[in-house]
Structure 1
Amino acid sequence: MIEARMNKISVSQLSTLRWDLETDVDAYASHGFGGIGLYRPKVEEFGIERVSEMLLDYQIHPTSLSWVGPFTGGDLPTEEAILDAKQAILDAASLGIDTVVVIAGGRQGHIYNHLRNFFCEALTEVAAVASRYGVRLALEPFHPGCGREWSFFSDLKATLDIIERVASPALGLNFDTYHVGMDRHTWDWLPDLAPYLHLVQLGDARHCPHGEMNRCLLGDGHVPVRKLMERISDLGYQGPWEIELLGQDVECLGYENILNHSRHYLSRDLAPF
Protein backbone atom coordinates (compact mmCIF):
# COMPACT_ATOMS: atom_id res chain seq x y z
CA MET A 1 0.00 0.00 0.00
CA ILE A 2 2.80 2.39 0.87
CA GLU A 3 4.45 1.71 -2.48
CA ALA A 4 1.24 2.57 -4.34
CA ARG A 5 0.74 5.76 -2.38
CA MET A 6 4.37 6.77 -2.90
CA ASN A 7 3.55 7.03 -6.61
CA LYS A 8 1.92 10.36 -5.75
CA ILE A 9 5.13 11.62 -4.14
CA SER A 10 7.60 13.42 -6.36
CA VAL A 11 11.02 15.01 -5.83
CA SER A 12 12.05 18.29 -7.43
CA GLN A 13 15.47 18.14 -9.05
CA LEU A 14 16.34 21.32 -7.18
CA SER A 15 16.57 19.08 -4.10
CA THR A 16 19.56 17.30 -5.67
CA LEU A 17 20.91 20.22 -7.65
CA ARG A 18 24.50 18.97 -8.08
CA TRP A 19 23.48 15.58 -9.46
CA ASP A 20 22.78 15.16 -13.15
CA LEU A 21 19.40 14.01 -14.40
CA GLU A 22 20.37 10.37 -14.84
CA THR A 23 21.60 10.18 -11.25
CA ASP A 24 18.42 11.89 -10.07
CA VAL A 25 16.12 9.45 -11.87
CA ASP A 26 18.03 6.42 -10.63
CA ALA A 27 18.12 7.64 -7.02
CA TYR A 28 14.48 8.74 -6.89
CA ALA A 29 13.30 5.41 -8.31
CA SER A 30 15.59 3.48 -5.94
CA HIS A 31 14.07 5.30 -2.97
CA GLY A 32 10.56 4.46 -4.13
CA PHE A 33 9.45 7.87 -5.39
CA GLY A 34 7.05 7.70 -8.31
CA GLY A 35 7.58 11.20 -9.68
CA ILE A 36 10.19 13.79 -10.56
CA GLY A 37 9.93 17.56 -10.84
CA LEU A 38 12.18 18.36 -13.77
CA TYR A 39 14.56 21.34 -13.84
CA ARG A 40 15.03 22.85 -17.29
CA PRO A 41 18.85 23.19 -17.25
CA LYS A 42 19.16 19.48 -16.43
CA VAL A 43 16.71 18.56 -19.18
CA GLU A 44 18.63 20.68 -21.68
CA GLU A 45 21.86 18.90 -20.75
CA PHE A 46 20.48 15.54 -21.94
CA GLY A 47 17.91 16.60 -24.52
CA ILE A 48 14.20 15.84 -24.75
CA GLU A 49 14.54 12.46 -26.46
CA ARG A 50 17.07 11.05 -23.98
CA VAL A 51 15.13 12.37 -20.99
CA SER A 52 11.95 10.77 -22.31
CA GLU A 53 13.77 7.44 -22.64
CA MET A 54 15.14 7.63 -19.10
CA LEU A 55 11.75 8.39 -17.59
CA LEU A 56 10.28 5.43 -19.45
CA ASP A 57 13.14 3.10 -18.48
CA TYR A 58 12.78 3.94 -14.79
CA GLN A 59 8.98 4.13 -14.86
CA ILE A 60 9.03 7.53 -13.17
CA HIS A 61 6.45 10.21 -13.95
CA PRO A 62 7.40 13.87 -14.55
CA THR A 63 5.16 16.00 -12.32
CA SER A 64 6.36 19.48 -13.26
CA LEU A 65 8.87 21.52 -15.23
CA SER A 66 10.65 24.41 -13.50
CA TRP A 67 10.42 27.12 -14.52
CA VAL A 68 9.37 29.86 -16.93
CA GLY A 69 10.02 33.52 -16.25
CA PRO A 70 10.85 35.87 -14.74
CA PHE A 71 8.73 38.21 -16.84
CA THR A 72 9.59 41.33 -14.82
CA GLY A 73 13.02 42.47 -13.73
CA GLY A 74 14.79 39.47 -15.24
CA ASP A 75 17.71 39.01 -17.62
CA LEU A 76 15.47 38.44 -20.63
CA PRO A 77 13.35 41.21 -22.19
CA THR A 78 9.68 40.36 -21.81
CA GLU A 79 9.18 39.28 -25.43
CA GLU A 80 12.09 36.88 -25.13
CA ALA A 81 10.75 35.60 -21.81
CA ILE A 82 7.40 34.92 -23.48
CA LEU A 83 9.08 33.04 -26.34
CA ASP A 84 11.11 31.05 -23.84
CA ALA A 85 7.94 30.18 -21.91
CA LYS A 86 6.27 28.97 -25.10
CA GLN A 87 9.26 26.73 -25.83
CA ALA A 88 9.08 25.31 -22.30
CA ILE A 89 5.41 24.47 -22.90
CA LEU A 90 6.32 22.59 -26.08
CA ASP A 91 9.05 20.71 -24.21
CA ALA A 92 6.63 19.87 -21.40
CA ALA A 93 4.08 18.53 -23.88
CA SER A 94 6.76 16.40 -25.55
CA LEU A 95 7.74 14.89 -22.19
CA GLY A 96 4.18 14.32 -21.00
CA ILE A 97 4.45 16.97 -18.28
CA ASP A 98 1.14 18.63 -17.51
CA THR A 99 2.39 21.43 -15.22
CA VAL A 100 4.96 24.19 -15.80
CA VAL A 101 5.92 26.39 -12.85
CA VAL A 102 5.76 30.15 -13.46
CA ILE A 103 7.92 32.76 -11.73
CA ALA A 104 6.73 36.34 -12.14
CA GLY A 105 9.85 38.39 -11.41
CA GLY A 106 10.62 41.23 -9.04
CA ARG A 107 8.99 44.61 -8.68
CA GLN A 108 12.10 46.65 -9.51
CA GLY A 109 10.56 49.91 -8.25
CA HIS A 110 7.53 49.78 -10.55
CA ILE A 111 3.98 50.66 -9.49
CA TYR A 112 2.31 47.44 -8.38
CA ASN A 113 -0.91 47.82 -10.38
CA HIS A 114 0.96 48.64 -13.58
CA LEU A 115 3.29 45.69 -13.09
CA ARG A 116 0.40 43.34 -12.35
CA ASN A 117 -1.44 44.41 -15.51
CA PHE A 118 1.73 44.03 -17.56
CA PHE A 119 2.33 40.55 -16.13
CA CYS A 120 -1.26 39.49 -16.74
CA GLU A 121 -0.96 40.46 -20.40
CA ALA A 122 2.13 38.28 -20.76
CA LEU A 123 0.45 35.42 -18.89
CA THR A 124 -2.61 35.61 -21.11
CA GLU A 125 -0.46 35.11 -24.20
CA VAL A 126 1.49 32.23 -22.65
CA ALA A 127 -1.64 30.59 -21.21
CA ALA A 128 -3.24 30.50 -24.66
CA VAL A 129 -0.36 28.35 -25.90
CA ALA A 130 -0.48 26.19 -22.78
CA SER A 131 -4.19 25.52 -23.33
CA ARG A 132 -3.54 24.55 -26.93
CA TYR A 133 -1.05 21.88 -25.84
CA GLY A 134 -2.89 20.65 -22.77
CA VAL A 135 -0.29 22.04 -20.36
CA ARG A 136 -1.10 23.85 -17.11
CA LEU A 137 0.75 26.84 -15.68
CA ALA A 138 1.35 26.92 -11.92
CA LEU A 139 1.99 30.43 -10.62
CA GLU A 140 4.28 30.48 -7.58
CA PRO A 141 4.20 33.24 -4.94
CA PHE A 142 7.44 33.74 -2.99
CA HIS A 143 7.84 34.72 0.64
CA PRO A 144 8.94 38.39 0.72
CA GLY A 145 11.76 37.56 3.13
CA CYS A 146 13.64 35.59 0.50
CA GLY A 147 11.95 36.23 -2.82
CA ARG A 148 11.50 39.90 -3.65
CA GLU A 149 13.70 39.51 -6.72
CA TRP A 150 11.74 36.42 -7.77
CA SER A 151 8.16 37.64 -7.40
CA PHE A 152 6.50 41.04 -7.00
CA PHE A 153 3.64 39.39 -5.09
CA SER A 154 3.92 37.08 -2.10
CA ASP A 155 0.53 36.17 -0.66
CA LEU A 156 -2.27 33.92 -1.81
CA LYS A 157 -4.78 36.75 -2.11
CA ALA A 158 -2.63 38.53 -4.70
CA THR A 159 -2.00 35.24 -6.50
CA LEU A 160 -5.72 34.51 -6.72
CA ASP A 161 -6.31 38.03 -8.05
CA ILE A 162 -3.88 37.43 -10.92
CA ILE A 163 -5.32 33.99 -11.70
CA GLU A 164 -8.84 35.41 -11.86
CA ARG A 165 -7.77 38.39 -13.99
CA VAL A 166 -6.15 36.14 -16.58
CA ALA A 167 -9.16 33.81 -16.42
CA SER A 168 -7.56 30.95 -18.29
CA PRO A 169 -8.31 27.33 -17.36
CA ALA A 170 -4.62 26.65 -17.91
CA LEU A 171 -3.50 29.00 -15.12
CA GLY A 172 -3.44 27.95 -11.49
CA LEU A 173 -1.27 27.86 -8.40
CA ASN A 174 1.91 26.17 -7.28
CA PHE A 175 1.34 25.94 -3.52
CA ASP A 176 4.81 25.78 -1.95
CA THR A 177 4.51 25.20 1.80
CA TYR A 178 7.89 26.86 2.37
CA HIS A 179 6.71 30.19 0.98
CA VAL A 180 3.13 30.33 2.26
CA GLY A 181 2.92 27.68 4.98
CA MET A 182 3.71 29.96 7.90
CA ASP A 183 1.29 32.71 6.85
CA ARG A 184 -1.73 32.50 9.16
CA HIS A 185 -3.95 33.85 6.35
CA THR A 186 -3.15 30.81 4.20
CA TRP A 187 -5.82 28.74 5.91
CA ASP A 188 -8.46 31.36 5.11
CA TRP A 189 -7.62 31.44 1.40
CA LEU A 190 -7.25 27.70 0.80
CA PRO A 191 -10.95 27.02 0.05
CA ASP A 192 -10.98 29.75 -2.63
CA LEU A 193 -7.73 28.51 -4.14
CA ALA A 194 -8.55 24.80 -4.07
CA PRO A 195 -9.98 24.74 -7.63
CA TYR A 196 -6.75 26.27 -8.93
CA LEU A 197 -4.25 23.96 -7.21
CA HIS A 198 -2.11 22.59 -10.02
CA LEU A 199 0.87 21.56 -7.88
CA VAL A 200 1.79 21.30 -4.20
CA GLN A 201 5.45 21.52 -3.25
CA LEU A 202 6.59 20.47 0.21
CA GLY A 203 9.24 22.44 2.07
CA ASP A 204 9.89 23.15 5.73
CA ALA A 205 11.86 25.83 7.59
CA ARG A 206 13.18 26.41 11.09
CA HIS A 207 12.48 30.13 10.87
CA CYS A 208 10.61 32.61 8.72
CA PRO A 209 12.43 32.97 5.37
CA HIS A 210 15.00 35.76 5.35
CA GLY A 211 17.78 36.32 2.83
CA GLU A 212 18.66 33.17 0.88
CA MET A 213 16.10 30.37 0.74
CA ASN A 214 16.96 27.86 3.46
CA ARG A 215 14.73 24.82 3.82
CA CYS A 216 15.13 22.08 6.39
CA LEU A 217 14.10 18.43 6.41
CA LEU A 218 10.35 17.85 6.41
CA GLY A 219 9.05 17.79 9.97
CA ASP A 220 12.14 19.46 11.45
CA GLY A 221 10.82 23.02 11.11
CA HIS A 222 7.82 25.17 11.94
CA VAL A 223 5.79 24.73 8.75
CA PRO A 224 2.71 22.59 9.51
CA VAL A 225 3.38 20.35 6.52
CA ARG A 226 1.23 17.44 7.65
CA LYS A 227 -1.76 19.62 8.58
CA LEU A 228 -1.52 21.49 5.29
CA MET A 229 -1.46 18.21 3.36
CA GLU A 230 -4.51 17.02 5.26
CA ARG A 231 -6.42 20.26 4.62
CA ILE A 232 -5.49 20.38 0.94
CA SER A 233 -6.48 16.74 0.54
CA ASP A 234 -9.81 17.42 2.25
CA LEU A 235 -10.44 20.20 -0.29
CA GLY A 236 -10.21 17.68 -3.11
CA TYR A 237 -6.60 17.89 -4.28
CA GLN A 238 -5.56 14.64 -5.95
CA GLY A 239 -2.34 15.73 -7.61
CA PRO A 240 1.28 14.98 -6.73
CA TRP A 241 3.10 16.13 -3.62
CA GLU A 242 6.48 17.37 -4.82
CA ILE A 243 9.35 17.60 -2.33
CA GLU A 244 11.60 20.64 -2.78
CA LEU A 245 14.40 20.95 -0.24
CA LEU A 246 17.42 23.20 -0.71
CA GLY A 247 19.52 25.57 1.35
CA GLN A 248 22.20 25.60 4.00
CA ASP A 249 20.31 23.45 6.52
CA VAL A 250 20.04 20.49 4.14
CA GLU A 251 23.07 20.97 1.90
CA CYS A 252 25.44 19.47 4.47
CA LEU A 253 23.30 16.35 4.97
CA GLY A 254 23.92 14.70 1.62
CA TYR A 255 21.30 13.97 -1.00
CA GLU A 256 20.87 10.30 -0.07
CA ASN A 257 20.04 11.31 3.50
CA ILE A 258 17.55 13.91 2.27
CA LEU A 259 15.78 11.31 0.13
CA ASN A 260 15.79 8.72 2.92
CA HIS A 261 14.35 11.13 5.46
CA SER A 262 11.71 12.47 3.06
CA ARG A 263 10.49 8.99 2.18
CA HIS A 264 10.31 7.99 5.84
CA TYR A 265 8.47 11.18 6.81
CA LEU A 266 5.88 10.87 4.06
CA SER A 267 5.36 7.10 4.29
CA ARG A 268 4.47 7.09 7.99
CA ASP A 269 0.88 8.04 7.35
CA LEU A 270 0.02 8.41 3.69
CA ALA A 271 -3.44 6.88 3.93
CA PRO A 272 -5.31 10.21 3.49
CA PHE A 273 -3.37 11.04 0.36
Structure 2
Amino acid sequence: MAEARMNTLSVSQLSTLRWDLESDVHAYSQRGFGGIGLYRPKLDDYGVERTIELLSEHSMVATSLSWGGGFTGSDGRPFEDAVSDAVNAVIQAARLRAGTLIVLAGGKNNHIKTHLRRTLCQALVRVAAVASEHGIKLALEPFHPGCGDEWSFVHDLQSTLDIIERVDNPSLGLVLDTYHVGMDRAALRWLPDVAQHIHLVQLGDGRHCPHGEMNRCLLGDGCVPLPELIELLHENGYCGSWEVEVIGEDVELISYDHLLDHTKRYLDHTLGQLC
Protein backbone atom coordinates (compact mmCIF):
# COMPACT_ATOMS: atom_id res chain seq x y z
CA MET A 1 0.00 0.00 0.00
CA ALA A 2 1.41 3.41 -0.95
CA GLU A 3 2.21 5.68 1.99
CA ALA A 4 0.66 9.11 2.44
CA ARG A 5 2.80 11.93 1.01
CA MET A 6 1.66 14.82 3.15
CA ASN A 7 3.19 18.07 1.87
CA THR A 8 6.31 16.32 0.56
CA LEU A 9 8.50 18.59 -1.56
CA SER A 10 9.57 16.70 -4.65
CA VAL A 11 11.34 17.14 -7.98
CA SER A 12 10.48 15.34 -11.21
CA GLN A 13 13.51 13.68 -12.80
CA LEU A 14 12.59 15.40 -16.06
CA SER A 15 13.94 18.57 -14.43
CA THR A 16 17.45 17.09 -14.38
CA LEU A 17 17.12 14.95 -17.48
CA ARG A 18 20.86 14.63 -18.25
CA TRP A 19 21.70 13.27 -14.79
CA ASP A 20 21.31 9.61 -13.90
CA LEU A 21 19.02 8.41 -11.14
CA GLU A 22 21.71 8.19 -8.48
CA SER A 23 22.85 11.76 -9.17
CA ASP A 24 19.24 12.95 -8.96
CA VAL A 25 18.63 11.30 -5.60
CA HIS A 26 21.85 12.65 -4.08
CA ALA A 27 21.25 16.20 -5.32
CA TYR A 28 17.57 16.33 -4.32
CA SER A 29 18.23 14.85 -0.89
CA GLN A 30 21.16 17.21 -0.25
CA ARG A 31 18.83 20.17 -0.69
CA GLY A 32 16.13 18.84 1.59
CA PHE A 33 13.67 17.48 -0.96
CA GLY A 34 11.92 14.47 0.53
CA GLY A 35 10.48 13.16 -2.73
CA ILE A 36 11.33 12.35 -6.30
CA GLY A 37 9.14 12.00 -9.38
CA LEU A 38 10.61 8.93 -11.06
CA TYR A 39 10.98 8.72 -14.84
CA ARG A 40 10.69 5.17 -16.17
CA PRO A 41 13.63 5.27 -18.65
CA LYS A 42 15.98 6.33 -15.84
CA LEU A 43 14.41 3.73 -13.55
CA ASP A 44 14.95 1.01 -16.16
CA ASP A 45 18.61 2.01 -16.54
CA TYR A 46 19.25 1.89 -12.79
CA GLY A 47 17.00 -1.03 -11.86
CA VAL A 48 13.96 -1.19 -9.60
CA GLU A 49 15.61 -3.06 -6.72
CA ARG A 50 18.63 -0.74 -6.65
CA THR A 51 16.27 2.24 -6.75
CA ILE A 52 14.30 0.93 -3.77
CA GLU A 53 17.55 0.57 -1.79
CA LEU A 54 18.80 4.01 -2.85
CA LEU A 55 15.58 5.78 -1.86
CA SER A 56 15.59 3.98 1.48
CA GLU A 57 19.19 5.03 2.17
CA HIS A 58 18.23 8.68 1.64
CA SER A 59 14.83 8.48 3.38
CA MET A 60 13.24 9.62 0.13
CA VAL A 61 9.83 8.68 -1.25
CA ALA A 62 8.71 8.33 -4.85
CA THR A 63 5.90 10.84 -5.21
CA SER A 64 5.13 9.69 -8.76
CA LEU A 65 6.13 7.39 -11.58
CA SER A 66 5.96 8.69 -15.16
CA TRP A 67 4.23 7.43 -17.11
CA GLY A 68 1.72 4.91 -18.46
CA GLY A 69 -0.79 5.41 -21.24
CA GLY A 70 -0.79 6.30 -24.91
CA PHE A 71 -3.94 4.24 -25.37
CA THR A 72 -5.01 5.91 -28.62
CA GLY A 73 -2.17 4.46 -30.68
CA SER A 74 -0.63 7.87 -31.39
CA ASP A 75 2.81 6.55 -30.42
CA GLY A 76 2.49 3.54 -32.73
CA ARG A 77 1.63 0.93 -30.11
CA PRO A 78 -1.47 -1.27 -30.34
CA PHE A 79 -4.13 -0.71 -27.68
CA GLU A 80 -3.45 -3.98 -25.85
CA ASP A 81 0.30 -3.26 -25.69
CA ALA A 82 -0.38 0.14 -24.14
CA VAL A 83 -2.75 -1.35 -21.56
CA SER A 84 -0.27 -4.13 -20.73
CA ASP A 85 2.52 -1.57 -20.30
CA ALA A 86 0.35 0.55 -18.00
CA VAL A 87 -0.46 -2.50 -15.88
CA ASN A 88 3.27 -3.25 -15.63
CA ALA A 89 3.83 0.36 -14.58
CA VAL A 90 1.23 -0.05 -11.81
CA ILE A 91 3.13 -3.07 -10.50
CA GLN A 92 6.41 -1.12 -10.70
CA ALA A 93 4.81 1.75 -8.79
CA ALA A 94 3.60 -0.67 -6.11
CA ARG A 95 7.09 -2.13 -5.65
CA LEU A 96 8.48 1.40 -5.34
CA ARG A 97 5.68 2.45 -2.98
CA ALA A 98 5.12 5.38 -5.32
CA GLY A 99 2.41 7.89 -4.50
CA THR A 100 0.94 7.99 -8.00
CA LEU A 101 1.30 6.60 -11.49
CA ILE A 102 0.90 9.43 -13.98
CA VAL A 103 -1.24 8.53 -16.99
CA LEU A 104 -1.24 10.23 -20.39
CA ALA A 105 -4.21 9.54 -22.64
CA GLY A 106 -2.45 9.65 -26.00
CA GLY A 107 -2.93 11.97 -28.97
CA LYS A 108 -5.95 12.23 -31.26
CA ASN A 109 -4.46 9.96 -33.94
CA ASN A 110 -7.19 11.05 -36.40
CA HIS A 111 -9.95 9.52 -34.26
CA ILE A 112 -13.27 11.23 -33.53
CA LYS A 113 -13.82 12.51 -30.02
CA THR A 114 -16.38 9.86 -28.99
CA HIS A 115 -14.03 7.05 -30.04
CA LEU A 116 -11.14 8.65 -28.16
CA ARG A 117 -13.15 8.95 -24.93
CA ARG A 118 -14.48 5.41 -25.23
CA THR A 119 -11.00 3.97 -25.88
CA LEU A 120 -9.47 5.87 -22.97
CA CYS A 121 -12.23 4.88 -20.55
CA GLN A 122 -11.97 1.21 -21.56
CA ALA A 123 -8.25 1.28 -20.84
CA LEU A 124 -8.60 3.15 -17.56
CA VAL A 125 -11.28 0.79 -16.24
CA ARG A 126 -8.87 -2.12 -16.70
CA VAL A 127 -5.77 -0.35 -15.36
CA ALA A 128 -7.64 1.20 -12.43
CA ALA A 129 -8.87 -2.26 -11.37
CA VAL A 130 -5.23 -3.41 -11.06
CA ALA A 131 -4.26 -0.16 -9.35
CA SER A 132 -7.01 -0.71 -6.75
CA GLU A 133 -5.65 -4.19 -6.01
CA HIS A 134 -2.17 -2.77 -5.41
CA GLY A 135 -3.17 0.40 -3.56
CA ILE A 136 -1.83 2.69 -6.29
CA LYS A 137 -3.37 5.99 -7.37
CA LEU A 138 -3.68 6.67 -11.09
CA ALA A 139 -3.39 10.33 -12.02
CA LEU A 140 -4.61 11.38 -15.47
CA GLU A 141 -2.78 14.48 -16.65
CA PRO A 142 -4.47 17.09 -18.86
CA PHE A 143 -2.01 18.67 -21.31
CA HIS A 144 -2.28 22.17 -22.74
CA PRO A 145 -3.23 21.83 -26.45
CA GLY A 146 -0.47 24.27 -27.39
CA CYS A 147 2.24 21.77 -26.48
CA GLY A 148 0.60 18.43 -25.90
CA ASP A 149 -1.46 17.26 -28.87
CA GLU A 150 0.79 14.27 -29.46
CA TRP A 151 0.71 13.34 -25.77
CA SER A 152 -2.94 13.75 -24.85
CA PHE A 153 -6.30 14.67 -26.34
CA VAL A 154 -7.44 15.59 -22.79
CA HIS A 155 -6.68 19.29 -22.42
CA ASP A 156 -8.71 20.77 -19.57
CA LEU A 157 -10.03 20.10 -16.09
CA GLN A 158 -13.65 19.74 -17.19
CA SER A 159 -12.81 16.97 -19.69
CA THR A 160 -10.58 15.25 -17.14
CA LEU A 161 -13.32 15.31 -14.52
CA ASP A 162 -15.80 13.87 -17.04
CA ILE A 163 -13.49 10.91 -17.72
CA ILE A 164 -12.88 10.32 -14.00
CA GLU A 165 -16.64 10.22 -13.41
CA ARG A 166 -17.19 7.82 -16.34
CA VAL A 167 -14.55 5.38 -15.08
CA ASP A 168 -15.93 5.63 -11.53
CA ASN A 169 -13.01 4.09 -9.65
CA PRO A 170 -11.61 5.96 -6.62
CA SER A 171 -8.10 4.94 -7.65
CA LEU A 172 -8.37 7.28 -10.65
CA GLY A 173 -7.80 10.98 -10.15
CA LEU A 174 -5.74 13.64 -11.85
CA VAL A 175 -2.42 15.43 -11.91
CA LEU A 176 -2.80 19.16 -11.78
CA ASP A 177 0.23 20.61 -13.55
CA THR A 178 0.20 24.37 -13.15
CA TYR A 179 2.15 24.85 -16.39
CA HIS A 180 -0.65 23.22 -18.39
CA VAL A 181 -3.69 24.71 -16.63
CA GLY A 182 -2.44 27.61 -14.53
CA MET A 183 -2.40 30.26 -17.25
CA ASP A 184 -6.12 29.80 -17.87
CA ARG A 185 -7.99 32.00 -15.40
CA ALA A 186 -11.15 29.99 -16.06
CA ALA A 187 -9.38 26.91 -14.70
CA LEU A 188 -9.25 28.53 -11.28
CA ARG A 189 -13.04 28.35 -11.11
CA TRP A 190 -12.86 24.56 -11.60
CA LEU A 191 -10.42 23.92 -8.76
CA PRO A 192 -13.06 23.57 -6.00
CA ASP A 193 -14.87 20.97 -8.15
CA VAL A 194 -11.79 18.90 -8.93
CA ALA A 195 -9.84 19.32 -5.68
CA GLN A 196 -11.10 16.05 -4.21
CA HIS A 197 -9.83 14.20 -7.30
CA ILE A 198 -6.31 15.68 -7.32
CA HIS A 199 -3.75 12.97 -6.55
CA LEU A 200 -0.69 15.10 -7.32
CA VAL A 201 0.19 18.72 -7.96
CA GLN A 202 3.08 19.45 -10.29
CA LEU A 203 4.40 22.98 -10.10
CA GLY A 204 5.56 24.52 -13.35
CA ASP A 205 5.86 28.07 -14.64
CA GLY A 206 6.24 29.66 -18.07
CA ARG A 207 6.80 33.09 -19.55
CA HIS A 208 4.10 32.62 -22.18
CA CYS A 209 1.23 30.33 -23.08
CA PRO A 210 2.50 26.91 -24.21
CA HIS A 211 3.14 26.73 -27.94
CA GLY A 212 5.15 23.97 -29.58
CA GLU A 213 7.62 22.28 -27.24
CA MET A 214 7.12 22.65 -23.49
CA ASN A 215 9.15 25.63 -22.33
CA ARG A 216 9.08 26.12 -18.59
CA CYS A 217 11.04 28.70 -16.65
CA LEU A 218 12.24 28.88 -13.06
CA LEU A 219 9.36 29.01 -10.58
CA GLY A 220 8.22 32.57 -10.03
CA ASP A 221 9.83 33.94 -13.21
CA GLY A 222 6.79 33.37 -15.42
CA CYS A 223 3.13 34.35 -15.65
CA VAL A 224 1.54 31.41 -13.78
CA PRO A 225 0.00 32.77 -10.54
CA LEU A 226 1.68 30.11 -8.42
CA PRO A 227 1.12 31.65 -4.96
CA GLU A 228 -2.59 32.11 -5.75
CA LEU A 229 -2.93 28.56 -7.09
CA ILE A 230 -1.09 27.04 -4.14
CA GLU A 231 -3.23 28.96 -1.66
CA LEU A 232 -6.44 27.98 -3.48
CA LEU A 233 -5.42 24.31 -3.51
CA HIS A 234 -4.56 24.50 0.18
CA GLU A 235 -7.91 26.13 0.99
CA ASN A 236 -9.73 23.36 -0.89
CA GLY A 237 -8.11 20.61 1.11
CA TYR A 238 -5.10 19.55 -0.95
CA CYS A 239 -2.47 18.18 1.42
CA GLY A 240 -0.45 15.95 -0.90
CA SER A 241 2.95 16.38 -2.51
CA TRP A 242 4.24 19.43 -4.35
CA GLU A 243 6.29 18.04 -7.24
CA VAL A 244 8.30 20.45 -9.39
CA GLU A 245 8.84 19.99 -13.12
CA VAL A 246 11.13 22.50 -14.83
CA ILE A 247 12.22 21.73 -18.39
CA GLY A 248 12.56 23.65 -21.65
CA GLU A 249 14.59 26.13 -23.66
CA ASP A 250 14.39 28.88 -21.02
CA VAL A 251 16.23 26.76 -18.46
CA GLU A 252 18.49 24.56 -20.59
CA LEU A 253 21.52 26.84 -20.09
CA ILE A 254 20.99 27.02 -16.32
CA SER A 255 23.00 24.54 -14.27
CA TYR A 256 20.96 21.88 -12.50
CA ASP A 257 22.53 22.91 -9.21
CA HIS A 258 21.27 26.47 -9.63
CA LEU A 259 17.85 25.21 -10.76
CA LEU A 260 17.48 23.04 -7.65
CA ASP A 261 18.75 25.74 -5.28
CA HIS A 262 16.34 28.30 -6.72
CA THR A 263 13.45 25.83 -6.59
CA LYS A 264 14.02 24.99 -2.93
CA ARG A 265 14.27 28.66 -1.92
CA TYR A 266 11.10 29.49 -3.85
CA LEU A 267 9.10 26.66 -2.31
CA ASP A 268 10.31 27.36 1.22
CA HIS A 269 9.27 30.99 0.86
CA THR A 270 5.96 30.45 -0.95
CA LEU A 271 4.72 27.49 1.11
CA GLY A 272 5.91 29.24 4.26
CA GLN A 273 3.30 31.93 3.62
CA LEU A 274 0.57 29.32 4.23
CA CYS A 275 1.76 28.57 7.76
TM interval, short-chain normalised: over 0.9
Question: What amino acid does structure 2 have at the position aligned with 1:47?
Answer: G
For residue 267 of structure 1, report the CA deviation from its aligned partner: 0.8
For residue 89 of structure 1, report the CA deviation from its aligned partner: 0.6
Q: Which residue pairs with 2:46 in the alignment?
A: 46
Question: What amino acid does structure 1 have at the position aligned with 2:177?
Answer: D
For residue 188 of structure 1, report the CA deviation from its aligned partner: 1.2
Show CA shifts across 1:47-100 (max 9, x none). 111000000011111100000011111232110011101111111101111300
Deviates more, 1:172-181 or 1:102-111: 102-111
Provide the C-alpha distance between the structure 1 equivalents of 2:80 and 2:109, rounded to a whole number of angstroms. 18
Secondary structure of the residue that 2:258 maps to in structure 1? helix
Determine if contact 1:68/1:100 at 8 Å carries over to the other structure. Answer: yes
Q: Which residue pairs with 2:87 in the alignment?
A: 86
Secondary structure of the residue that 2:124 maps to in structure 1? helix
1:1-273 counterparts in 2 under 5 A? 8-72=8-72, 73-271=74-272, 272=274
Provide the C-alpha distance between the structure 2 equivalents of 1:75 and 1:94, rounded to a whole number of angstroms. 28
Question: What amino acid does structure 2 have at the position aligned with 1:87?
Answer: N
Question: What amino acid does structure 1 have at the position aligned with 2:102?
Answer: V
Show CA shifts across 1:173-220 (max 9, x none). 100000000112111111110110000000000000000000000000
For residue 270 of structure 1, report the CA deviation from its aligned partner: 2.2
For residue 269 of structure 1, report the CA deviation from its aligned partner: 3.7
TM-score, normalisation: structure 1: 0.96
Determine if contact 1:7/1:35 at 8 Å carries over to the other structure. Answer: no
Secondary structure of the residue that 1:226 maps to in structure 2? helix
Provide the C-alpha distance between the structure 1 equivalents of 2:271 and 2:103, rounded to a whole number of angstroms. 28
Secondary structure of the residue that 2:185 maps to in structure 1? coil
Secondary structure of the residue that 2:212 maps to in structure 1? coil
Determine if contact 1:82/1:122 at 8 Å carries over to the other structure. Answer: yes
For residue 9 of structure 1, report the CA deviation from its aligned partner: 0.7
Aligned-pair identity in percent equals 59
Show CA shifts across 1:119-145 (max 9, x none). 101110000000000000000010000
Q: Which residue pairs with 1:3 in the alignment?
A: none
Provide the C-alpha distance between the structure 2 equivalents of 1:53 and 1:138, rounded to a whole number of angstroms. 25
Q: Which runs of 5+ in 2 are unaligned?
A: 1-5
Deviates more, 1:194-203 or 1:6-15: 6-15
Provide the C-alpha distance between the structure 2 equivalents of 1:269 and 1:98, rounded to a whole number of angstroms. 23
Provide the C-alpha distance between the structure 2 equivalents of 1:62 and 1:157, rounded to a whole number of angstroms. 28
For residue 242 of structure 1, report the CA deviation from its aligned partner: 0.1
For residue 7 of structure 1, report the CA deviation from its aligned partner: 6.5
Determine if contact 1:38/1:62 at 8 Å carries over to the other structure. Answer: yes
Provide the C-alpha distance between the structure 2 equivalents of 1:113 and 1:269, rounded to a whole number of angstroms. 41
TM-score, normalisation: structure 2: 0.95
Secondary structure of the residue that 1:175 maps to in structure 2? strand
Q: Which residue pairs with 2:3 in the alignment?
A: none
**TM superposition outliers: structure 1 runs of 4+ over 3 Å:** none
Determine if contact 2:220/2:266 at 8 Å carries over to the other structure. Answer: yes
Provide the C-alpha distance between the structure 2 equivalents of 1:151 and 1:95, rounded to a whole number of angstroms. 26
Secondary structure of the residue that 2:18 maps to in structure 1? coil
